[in-house]
């Protein structure tokens, strides 16, 4: 099975160019921000630009793309103004993504800022359940978090609670970030099988729709989100070899968010992971 893998790509020069950039590093998918990562408005879609991306995706057998919501989108905030922005941006992004050949939309569940995770989950569900609809084509992904501060989504139980309370659970899934998992206390380096079995018990592997591949600058259970190049952090390259060749993860799309000096450097990581996949019996 061909590995579906790609980096985070800027769409500043359009979606067609983003597709070309992904192909240039050997990718067959990519992640992009729906808008400035710190928030802000978006310009209207250019149908020709979108069609150009569709053609690239067809020609190079792309897997699903992963749209990433801005970091400022905090559905669990105690501040009504912040939640209003989250509601508006979420709604606008979902409607926009229906016009793109994407299918996956990832967001950080948010921070409850002292209200408690139960209240945070309730606030997240209030927005999800009021803005999603039955016929939508995009699957919304909750990103598993490292557990810093008052983050919601720091463990599989919280992710399961959000999915369990969703009005349209068939349109909600999970994106697992390797750096976040390791920092949260899930030992993917020493017990990948156990972590995946735990996820399957609490959430269900059928809900795992994408993975972010990032090494970690900080040690196990640090509860910090500091990405490192693959093999140069505390997780180590052996763990990433195990991840991209694990039977339970076969066919899942992988996305790189590792720090690189130049965009072209992603080609080295992608080729390394493809070599692991090809050598699997």
Give the pTM.
0.96
Per-residue pLDDT of the chain (281 residues; tens, 9 = 90+): 799 999 999 999 999 999 999 999 999 999 999 997 776 678 889 999 999 999 999 999 999 999 999 999 999 999 999 999 999 999 999 999 999 999 999 999 999 988 899 999 999 999 999 999 999 999 999 999 999 988 999 999 999 999 999 999 999 999 999 999 999 999 999 999 999 999 999 999 999 999 999 999 999 999 999 999 999 999 999 999 999 999 999 999 999 999 999 999 999 999 999 999 887 64
Neighbouring CB atoms inside 10 A of 244's CB total 21
Calculate what percentage of the chain has a pLDDT beyond 70. 99
Kind of pairing, strands 208-213 and 215-216? unpaired
Catalytic center residues: 38, 68, 71, 108, 143, 177, 180, 212, 225, 227, 257
Query: What structural domains does the chain harbor?
Result: 5-278 (3.20.20.150)
Q: Using one digit for the tens of pLDDT, what is the confidence trace for 258-281?
A: 999 999 999 999 999 999 988 764
Q: Chain-wide mean pLDDT for the chain?
A: 95
């Amino acid at each position: 099975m061909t590995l579906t893998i790609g980096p985070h790509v800027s769409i500043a020069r359009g979606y067609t160019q983003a597709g070309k950039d992904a192909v240039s590093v050997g990718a067959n998918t990519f992640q992009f921000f729906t808008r400035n990562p710190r928030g802000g408005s978006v310009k209207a879609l250019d149908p020709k630009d979108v069609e150009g991306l569709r053609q690239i995706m067809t020609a190079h057998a792309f897997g699903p793309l992963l749209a990433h919501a801005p970091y400022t989108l905090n559905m669990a905030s105690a501040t009504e103004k912040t939640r209003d922005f989250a509601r508006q941006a979420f709604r606008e992004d979902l409607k926009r993504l229906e016009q793109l050949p994407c299918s996956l939309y990832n967001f950080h569940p948010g921070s409850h800022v002292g209200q408690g995770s139960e209240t945070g989950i309730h606030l997240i569900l209030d927005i999800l359940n009021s803005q999603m609809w039955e016929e939508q084509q995009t699957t919304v992904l909750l990103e598993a978090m490292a557990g810093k501060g008052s983050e919601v989504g720091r463990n599989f139980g919280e992710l399961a609670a959000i999915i369990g309370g969703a009005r349209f659970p068939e349109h909600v899934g999970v994106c697992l970030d390797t750096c976040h998992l390791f920092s949260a206390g899930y030992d993917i380096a020493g017990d990948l099988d156990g972590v995946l079995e735990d996820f399957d018990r609490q959430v269900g592997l059928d809900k795992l729709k994408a993975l972010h591949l990032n090494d970690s600058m900080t040690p196990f259970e640090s509860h910090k989100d500091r990405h490192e190049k693959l093999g140069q952090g505390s997780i180590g390259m052996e763990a990433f070899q195990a991840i991209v060749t694990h039977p339970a993860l076969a066919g899942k799309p992988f996305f790189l968010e590792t720090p690189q000096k130049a965009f072209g450097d992603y080609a080295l990581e992608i080729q390394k992971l493809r070599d692991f996949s090809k050598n699997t019996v």
